[in-house]
C-alpha cells in the first residue's frame, strides 16, 4: 500500500485510523498536530461510534452518520457493522436504505460508487478506467427502476448497490477494494424526481427497447474486459428487464440476479426449515405465491428442481406451486398469463385470493408484491383454518411495504403462524407469549454466493449453487431457533453462514467443471475460504 502522509493519509478512508494512530505513527507519517492528544484503539473508537449513532433521533440521521463514517474510516465502519450487525444492518440496508433512496439527492454528501449514463455510450470501458481499483471481484449494478417496493427512483437507487456492497464486506468478508457499486442511470420515468431541482440523476425518461439493451450490452462487456474476474450482480431492475438481462448474460458470463435467484434461495431455505417446525415433509408441501414478478417467479422456478430433488415428478412439482395475481388464482382460463408462469397455472375455476386458499389449502404463503397489507386479515385467518402452523413469508421491503406485519400474522392466526419478513420485525408479545419473527432476506444468500464465485473463479453462476445455498442456510437454523419458531438463523451468525455457502458454491463449481481450482485450495476449502475473508482491523 502506498505510504500516504499527513492530511492525505487522514483523508484516505481505506488507510485512515484517525485517533488510533500511535505516537510513533503520528511522528512517522507527519500527523503530529493534526490529531488530538488521545490515542484510542479501535474498540474505544467503536464505543464512540455507537454513542454518536445512538444519539441520533431518526434512522435517516443514523444512515447519514454511518455513511460519513464509511467515507472517513472504512475499517472502523466495517468493524462496527460486523460487531453490531443486528443493530446496524437495518440502518445501512432495509428498511432505512429505502428512505435513504427516496431522499438520496437531498441528503447527498460525497459521491460513492460509479455512475454511467447514456452519454457514456461508446466510452464505457474508458469510463471504467476512472475507478481507482483494478482487482474488482464483485459489481452490484442497478438501473433504479424497482427499488425495493418503492418503484422507480432513478439514480437515487444508488443507495441499493452501496448497501448491498456494505453487506458483501460485512457478511462475506470481501475486501472493500474488490467491490464496486454501479448505477446504470438510464433516466427515470418518475416525473416528480425529474422535476426536482435537487435531483442528481440523468433527467430524462428511461431508455427502452434496443437503446436500453445495447447500452447494457456495452456495460456488461466493458465490466468483463476491465475486471475479468468480477461477478456482476443485477439488483432491483424492473421484472421484465430483470429476466431479459438474466437470460441474456447468465449463460455466458459470471452474473446473477439477486432478486430472482438470491430471493429464491433464501425463501426455499425458509421453507425447508419450516418443515422442521411443522413436522411435514418438504415433498408434501403446497406453496402459494402472491405476485408474479421477479421475486415470486424466481421462487417458483427454484421450487421445481427442489421438489424434483425430493422425489417428485416435474408435473407434480409444478402442481405444488400456485400463483395469485391481482385478479386471483392464476388459472388456465386467465387472460394474459406471463410466459414464465404458464407451467404453474391451475386447471381450477377462477377464484379470488381467499377462495383460492380454501380450495388449495396451501401450507406456505409467500408475498412478493411490494404492496403493504396484501395479506389481509381474511387471508391470514383463512390459511389458519387449514393449517395448524401456516408458514407466512412476507418478502416485501421496506417495512412500510410488507404484506403484513409480524403482529398481524400472529394475531390473526391466533399465535400459530410461522412468520418471516424481508425487513426485520422486533419480537411480538401476545397474550403473555413472545414470538420471534425471522428475517427472510437475500442477505443470507448473495454474500456467500459472491464469495464462493470469487474464490472458485467459477465461469458461471448456476442454479445448483442457489439450491446448495438454500440447503446450507436451512441447515444453519439451530435447534433452539426451530424450537422458538424461527425459520432463519440469527443474523449475528451471517458471516459463518456466508462462509459455509461459499464452500458449497466452490464445490458445486468444481463438480460442474466451471473452474479448475488448485488441488491445495480445493482440498482445504473451509480453511482457504476463511483465510481469504477480509477482517477489518488496524
Ligand atoms: N426479502 C427479500 O430478500 C426480497 C424482497 N423483495 C421484495 O419483493 C417485492 C417485489 O419484488 P419484485 O418481485 O422484484 O417486484 P416486481 O415488480 O417484479 O413484482 C411485483 C409483483 O407483485 C404484484 N402485485 C403488486 N401488488 C399486488 C397485489 N395487491 N395483489 C397481487 N399482486 C400484486 C405485481 O403485479 P402487477 O404486475 O399487476 O403490478 C407484480 O407481479 C419488493 O417489495 C421487494 O422489495 C425482492 C427481492 C428480495
Ligand atoms: C432485498 C432485496 O433485494 C429487495 O428487496 O429488492
Ligand atoms: Mg433487491
Ligand 2 in contact with 236 (CB < 6 A)?
A: yes
441 is in an annotated binding site: yes
Q: 294 alpha carbon to ligand 1 midpoint, in Å?
A: 7
SS3 187: coil
Query: How many C-alpha atoms does 445 have within 13 Å on its Cβ side?
Result: 32
Q: 410 alpha carbon to ligand 3 midpoint, in Å?
A: 26
- Residues facing 346 on adjacent strands: 331
Ligand 1 in contact with 325 (CB < 6 A)?
A: yes
236 is in an annotated binding site: yes
- Residues facing 182 on adjacent strands: 114, 141
Ligand 1 in contact with 368 (CB < 6 A)?
A: yes
Section 222-233 average pLDDT: 98
* SS3 assignment for 362-425: CCEEEECCCCCCCCCHHHHHHHHHHCCCCEEEECCCCHHHCCCCHHHHHHHCCCCCEEEECCCC
The answer to whether 271 touches 288, Cβ cutoff 8 Å, is: no
pLDDT band of 2, cuts 50, 70, 90: low
Section 457-461 average pLDDT: 97
Helix, strand, coil shares, percent, the chain, to 5: 50, 10, 40
**pLDDT tens-digit map of 267-322:** 999 999 999 999 999 999 999 999 999 999 999 999 999 999 999 999 999 999 99
Q: Which of 17, 62, 164, 471 is catalytic?
A: 164
Torsions phi, psi of 527, nearest 5? -70, -40
Section 248-255 average pLDDT: 96
**pLDDT tens-digit map of 326-357:** 999 999 998 789 999 999 999 999 999 999 99
Q: Is the pLDDT of residue 527 over 80?
A: yes
Query: How many C-alpha atoms does 214 have within 13 Å on its Cβ side?
Result: 8
Task: Name the DSSP letter for residue 132.
Answer: S
Phi-psi region of 18 (alpha: psi -120 to 50; beta: other; left: phi over 0): left
Which range is least confidently modeled, 60-69, 433-442, 516-525?
516-525
Q: Quick one: which ligand is closest to 288's CA?
A: 1
Cα separation, 502 vs 172, in Å, equals 9
pLDDT band of 510, cuts 50, 70, 90: very high
pLDDT more than 70, % of the chain: 100
User: For atom 35 of ligand 1, which residue has the closest CA?
Assistant: 291
The verdict on whether 308 is a catalytic residue reads: no
To test the pocket of ligand 2, the residue of 258, 264, 439 to mutate (highest count of ligand atoms within 8 Å of its CB) is 258
User: For atom 1 of ligand 1, which residue has the closest CA?
Assistant: 422
Ligand 1 in contact with 398 (CB < 6 A)?
A: no
From the alpha carbon of 94, which atom of ligand 1 is closest? Answer: 45
Q: 164 alpha carbon to ligand 2 midpoint, in Å?
A: 9
Torsions phi, psi of 62, nearest 5? -65, -40
Section 68-89 average pLDDT: 98
Cα separation, 489 vs 269, in Å, equals 10
Alpha-carbon 389 to chain mean position: 27
Residues in contact with 54: Cβ distance below 8 Å, sequence separation at least 6, in sequence order: none
pLDDT more than 90, % of the chain: 97
Cα separation, 104 vs 92, in Å, equals 13
Residue 279 confidence (pLDDT): 96
Residue 342 confidence (pLDDT): 96
From the alpha carbon of 297, which atom of ligand 1 is closest? Answer: 13
What's the burial of 332, exposed, middle or buried (CB within 10 Å: 0-12/13-18/19+)? exposed
Q: 259 alpha carbon to ligand 3 midpoint, in Å?
A: 5
Section 402-424 average pLDDT: 98
87 is in an annotated binding site: no
Ligand 1 in contact with 268 (CB < 6 A)?
A: no
Q: Quick one: which ligand is closest to 242's CA?
A: 1
Q: Quick one: which ligand is closest to 145's CA?
A: 1
The answer to whether 110 touches 71, Cβ cutoff 8 Å, is: yes
397 is in an annotated binding site: yes
Ligand 1 in contact with 423 (CB < 6 A)?
A: no
Q: 421 alpha carbon to ligand 2 midpoint, in Å?
A: 11
Section 94-115 average pLDDT: 97
Ligand 1 in contact with 424 (CB < 6 A)?
A: no
Q: Is the pLDDT of residue 468 over 90?
A: yes
Section 73-99 average pLDDT: 98
**pLDDT tens-digit map of 22-67:** 999 999 999 999 999 999 999 999 999 999 999 999 999 999 999 9
Complete domains list, the chain, with CATH: 6-72 (1.20.1370.30), 91-249 (3.40.50.10380), 263-460+476-538 (3.40.50.720)
Ligand 1 in contact with 95 (CB < 6 A)?
A: no
User: For atom 6 of ligand 2, which residue has the closest CA?
Assistant: 148
Query: How many C-alpha atoms does 1 have within 13 Å on its Cβ side?
Result: 9
Instruction: Indicate if the alpha-carbon torsion angle 509, 264, 436, 485 is positive or negative.
Output: negative
Residue 73 confidence (pLDDT): 98
* SS3 assignment for 79-112: HHHHHCHHHHHHHHCCCHHHHHHHHHHHHCCCCC
Residues in contact with 212: Cβ distance below 8 Å, sequence separation at least 6, in sequence order: 186, 206, 241
The answer to whether 369 touches 341, Cβ cutoff 8 Å, is: no
Identify the residue whose cell numbers are 505513527. 25
Ligand 2 in contact with 441 (CB < 6 A)?
A: yes
Ligand 2 in contact with 325 (CB < 6 A)?
A: no
Q: Considering only CA atoms, which of 43, 44, 35, 88 is closest in space to residue 65?
A: 88
Q: Which of 29, 63, 78, 93 is catalytic?
A: 93
From the alpha carbon of 149, which atom of ligand 1 is closest? Answer: 43
146 is in an annotated binding site: yes
Cα separation, 78 vs 477, in Å, equals 25
130 is in an annotated binding site: no
Ligand 2 in contact with 145 (CB < 6 A)?
A: no
The reply to whether ipTM tops 0.85 is: yes
Cα separation, 81 vs 535, in Å, equals 12
Residue 335 confidence (pLDDT): 79
Cα separation, 412 vs 398, in Å, equals 22
Residue 1 confidence (pLDDT): 58
Cα separation, 190 vs 188, in Å, equals 5
Buried b (16+ CB within 10 A) or exposed e, 411-440: bbbeeebbbbbbbbbeebeeeeeebebbbb
CA angle 25, 29, 35 (to 5 degrees): 75
To test the pocket of ligand 1, the residue of 167, 293, 326 to mutate (highest count of ligand atoms within 8 Å of its CB) is 293
Q: 151 alpha carbon to ligand 1 midpoint, in Å?
A: 10
The verdict on whether 93 is a catalytic residue reads: yes
Amino acid at each position: 500500500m502506498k505510504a500516504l502522509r499527513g492530511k492525505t493519509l487522514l483523508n484516505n478512508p481505506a488507510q485512515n485510523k484517525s485517533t488510533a494512530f500511535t505516537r510513533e505513527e503520528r511522528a512517522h507519517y507527519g500527523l503530529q498536530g493534526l490529531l488530538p492528544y488521545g490515542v484510542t484503539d479501535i474498540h474505544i473508537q467503536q464505543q464512540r461510534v455507537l454513542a454518536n449513532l445512538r444519539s441520533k433521533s431518526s434512522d435517516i440521521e443514523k444512515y447519514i452518520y454511518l455513511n460519513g463514517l464509511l467515507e472517513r474510516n472504512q475499517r472502523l465502519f466495517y468493524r462496527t457493522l460486523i460487531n453490531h450487525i443486528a443493530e446496524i444492518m437495518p440502518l445501512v440496508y432495509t428498511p432505512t436504505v429505502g428512505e435513504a433512496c427516496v431522499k438520496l439527492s437531498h441528503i447527498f454528501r460525497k459521491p460513492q460508487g460509479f455512475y454511467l449514463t447514456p452519454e457514456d455510450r461508446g466510452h464505457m470501458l474508458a469510463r471504467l478506467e476512472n475507478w481507482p481499483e483494478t482487482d474488482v471481484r464483485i459489481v452490484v449494478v442497478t438501473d433504479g427502476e424497482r427499488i425495493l417496493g418503492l418503484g422507480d427512483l432513478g439514480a437515487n437507487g444508488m443507495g441499493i448497490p452501496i448497501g448491498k456492497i456494505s453487506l458483501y464486506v460485512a457478511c462475506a468478508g470481501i475486501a472493500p477494494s474488490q467491490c464496486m457499486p454501479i448505477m446504470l442511470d438510464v433516466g427515470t420515468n418518475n416525473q416528480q424526481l425529474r422535476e426536482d431541482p435537487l435531483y442528481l440523476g440523468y433527467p430524462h425518461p428511461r431508455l427502452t427497447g434496443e437503446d436500453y439493451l445495447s447500452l447494457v450490452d456495452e456495460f456488461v462487456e466493458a465490466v468483463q474486459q476491465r475486471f475479468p474476474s468480477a461477478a456482476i450482480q443485477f439488483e432491483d431492475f424492473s421484472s421484465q428487464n430483470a429476466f431479459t438481462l438474466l437470460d441474456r448474460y447468465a449463460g455466458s458470463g459470471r452474473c446473477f440476479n439477486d432478486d430472482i435467484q438470491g430471493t429464491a434461495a433464501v425463501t426455499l431455505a425458509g421453507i425447508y426449515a419450516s418443515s422442521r417446525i411443522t413436522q411435514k415433509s418438504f415433498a408434501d408441501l403446497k406453496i402459494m405465491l402472491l405476485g408474479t414478478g421477479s421475486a415470486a417467479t424466481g421462487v417458483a422456478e427454484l421450487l421445481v428442481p427442489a421438489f424434483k430433488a425430493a422425489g417428485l415428478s416435474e408435473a407434480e412439482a409444478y402442481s405444488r406451486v400456485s400463483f395469485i395475481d391481482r385478479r386471483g388464482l392464476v388459472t388456465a382460463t386467465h387472460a394474459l398469463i406471463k410466459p414464465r408462469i404458464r407451467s404453474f397455472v391451475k386447471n381450477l375455476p377462477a377464484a379470488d385470493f381467499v377462495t383460492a386458499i380454501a380450495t388449495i389449502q396451501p401450507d406456505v404463503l409467500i408475498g412478493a408484491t411490494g404492496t403493504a397489507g396484501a395479506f389481509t386479515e381474511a387471508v391470514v385467518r383463512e390459511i389458519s383454518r387449514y393449517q395448524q402452523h401456516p408458514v407466512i413469508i412476507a418478502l416485501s421491503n421496506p417495512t412500510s411495504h410488507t404484506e403484513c406485519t409480524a403482529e398481524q400474522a400472529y394475531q390473526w392466526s391466533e399465535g400459530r403462524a410461522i412468520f418471516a419478513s424481508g425487513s426485520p420485525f422486533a419480537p411480538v408479545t401476545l397474550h403473555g407469549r413472545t414470538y420471534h419473527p425471522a428475517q427472510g432476506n437475500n442477505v443470507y444468500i448473495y454474500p456467500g454466493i459472491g464469495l464462493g464465485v470469487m474464490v472458485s473463479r467459477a465461469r458461471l453462476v448456476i442454479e445448483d449453487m442457489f439450491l446448495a445455498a438454500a440447503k446450507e442456510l436451512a441447515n444453519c437454523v439451530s435447534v433452539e431457533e426451530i424450537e422458538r419458531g424461527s425459520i432463519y438463523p440469527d443474523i449475528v451468525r451471517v458471516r459463518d453462514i456466508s462462509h459455509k455457502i461459499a464452500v458449497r458454491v466452490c464445490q458445486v463449481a468444481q463438480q460442474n467443471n466451471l473452474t479448475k481450482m488448485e488441488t491445495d485450495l480445493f482440498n482445504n476449502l473451509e480453511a482457504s475460504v476463511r483465510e481469504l475473508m477480509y477482517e477489518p482491523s488496524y
